[in-house]
Amino acid sequence: MKKIIWEVQSLSLLPVLKYCKKCGRKNLFACSRQFRVNAQRRYLDIWLIYKCCACNTTWNATVYSRISPQAIKPQLLDGFYKNDNELVEKYAMDSQFLQENGVEVGLPQYSVIGDCFSLNETVQLEIKSKYSLSVKVSSVVRSKLLLSEKEYLQLIISGKIKSLPNQDLKKCKLKEGVTLVFDNELQMSRI
Ligand SMILES: [Zn+2]
């Protein structure tokens, strides 16, 4: 069976929606890509800083609260001080982290890297993402293969597309990845 890998790459960090006191309404907040480390007595507070897209009011997403400096590896602490890009993305792409900080999290813009294929082929397709994304598998497949919602549903109903292990392909989210099988022979035998 032909094997194809797609990689879903985020083009932006996760958009954050929260109430801005200054604007008096809910607004989009953008990640500043900067941490703030505050040392108070024997404890550290570490935040990731966001800014309201309309008025620049800052909002701090709590990474660590009142943690002992000994509890953090020096290399990690250094990463927070240097605003290490990988470290910024680890938090800014983590919807659970953001939700635990009490904000609404939107979907990032993304592109799908990898070869297209014909629906006349039998293909095992692995879709991967570096970060857990709550985009729908159906959106990724439909946008890449240029399928209408009806065409995509037809593939599910006819058994031409399946996931390993079996998931609801109408609803399931990509998270860190999924493996799909486009089974051409099955469809041909039904026709
Ligand atoms: Zn604002």
- Strands 2-10 and 161-164 turn out to be unpaired
Contact indicator for 118, 144 with CB cutoff of 8 Å: no
Angstrom distance (rounded) from CA 98 to CA 83: 18
Q: What is the pLDDT of residues 94-114, one digit of tens each?
A: 999 999 999 999 988 999 999
Determine the distance separating the centroid of ligand 1 and the alpha carbon of 99, expressed in angstroms: 19
Determine the distance separating the centroid of ligand 1 and the alpha carbon of 38, expressed in angstroms: 24
Buried b (16+ CB within 10 A) or exposed e, 55-71: eeeebebebbeeeeeee
Q: What is the pLDDT of residues 129-160, one digit of tens each?
A: 999 998 999 999 999 999 999 999 999 999 99
Determine the distance separating the centroid of ligand 1 and the alpha carbon of 48, expressed in angstroms: 17
Q: What is the pLDDT of residues 170-179, one digit of tens each?
A: 999 999 999 9
Determine the distance separating the centroid of ligand 1 and the alpha carbon of 60, expressed in angstroms: 14
Residue 114 DSSP code? S
Determine the distance separating the centroid of ligand 1 and the alpha carbon of 29, expressed in angstroms: 8
- pLDDT interval class at 184 (50, 70, 90): confident
Contact indicator for 190, 183 with CB cutoff of 8 Å: no
Average confidence (pLDDT) over 82-105: 96
Determine the distance separating the centroid of ligand 1 and the alpha carbon of 120, expressed in angstroms: 51
pLDDT of residue 187: 46
pLDDT of residue 22: 97
Determine the distance separating the centroid of ligand 1 and the alpha carbon of 46, expressed in angstroms: 23
Reported as type and span, the H/E element at residue 63 is strand 58-67
Q: Name, in order, each residue with C-beta under 8 angstroms of 112's C-beta and a sequence gap of 6 or more.
A: 6, 7, 8, 9, 127, 140, 143, 144
Q: Name, in order, each residue with C-beta under 8 angstroms of 76's C-beta and a sequence gap of 6 or more.
A: 87
Contact indicator for 123, 182 with CB cutoff of 8 Å: yes
pLDDT of residue 191: 43
